[in-house]
């Protein structure tokens, strides 16, 4: 009988440990998770963040820069939150997450975020653009209309803080 009780308690503890969730996995809009929070590397703060205007001035004439930028999230991947777009004065900047090590909530569009990492200009292939359109929930016609690669401002984020 003692063995059964010990086994029961051990199974309960094991199950409780496995039910803990973090911000990198549970990104469904229907979850109880709040959008606000830290995703990815959380060892930094927002005090050195620049606004979109200052960011674009810092990037001007350079291939890439390391930066901390604050702005509004304009879209997020609807498949699992594996990318987002931020409004940089009317131009969407594609934000990817380092090593796909974390994701943001799918319902994070419209929130303010601060991101830390590397910004660079990149040419996105037709396949990448079509995948982003698919993830964003675009129609088959809109996806099929993408036939040319596109130069895009891109950001590889080490971490994201959503307010």
CA distance 51 to 53: 6
pTM of the model: 0.74
Query: Which pair of tokens denotes residue 92?
Result: 């969407």
| CATH number of the domain located at residue range(s) 2-162 in this protein | 2.40.50
* pLDDT in the model for residue 89: 93
pLDDT of 1 above 70: no
* pLDDT in the model for residue 42: 87
Residues with Cβ within 8 Å of 132's Cβ and at least 6 positions away in sequence, in order, are 77, 83, 94, 124
Across all residues in the chain, what is the average pLDDT? 83
DSSP string, 64-127: EEEEEEEEEEEEE-TTTS-EEEEEETTEEEEEEEGGG-----TT-TTSEEEEEEEEEEEEEPHH
> What 3-state DSSP class applies to 144?
helix
The stretch 26-47 carries a mean pLDDT of 75
What whole-number percentage of the chain has pLDDT above 70? 80
Per-residue pLDDT of 103-124, as tens digits, reads 999 999 999 999 999 999 999 8
* pLDDT in the model for residue 32: 39
Of 27-36, 112-121, 130-139, where does mean pLDDT reach its minimum? 27-36
């Amino acid at each position: 009988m003692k063995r059964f009780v010990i086994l029961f308690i051990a199974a309960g503890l094991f199950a409780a440990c496995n039910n803990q969730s973090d911000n990198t996995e549970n990104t469904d809009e229907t979850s109880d998770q709040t959008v606000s929070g830290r995703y990815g590397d959380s060892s930094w703060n927002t005090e050195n963040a620049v606004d979109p205007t200052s960011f674009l001035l810092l990037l001007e004439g350079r291939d890439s820069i390391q930066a901390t930028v604050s702005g509004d999230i304009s879209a997020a991947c609807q498949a699992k939150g594996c990318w987002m777009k931020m409004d940089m004065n009317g131009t969407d900047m594609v934000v990817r997450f380092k090593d796909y090590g974390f994701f943001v909530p799918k319902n994070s569009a419209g929130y303010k975020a601060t991101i830390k990492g590397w910004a660079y200009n990149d040419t996105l292939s037709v396949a990448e653009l079509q995948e982003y359109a698919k993830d964003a929930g675009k129609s088959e016609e809109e996806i099929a209309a993408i036939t040319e690669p596109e130069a895009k401002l891109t950001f590889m984020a080490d971490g994201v803080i959503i307010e």
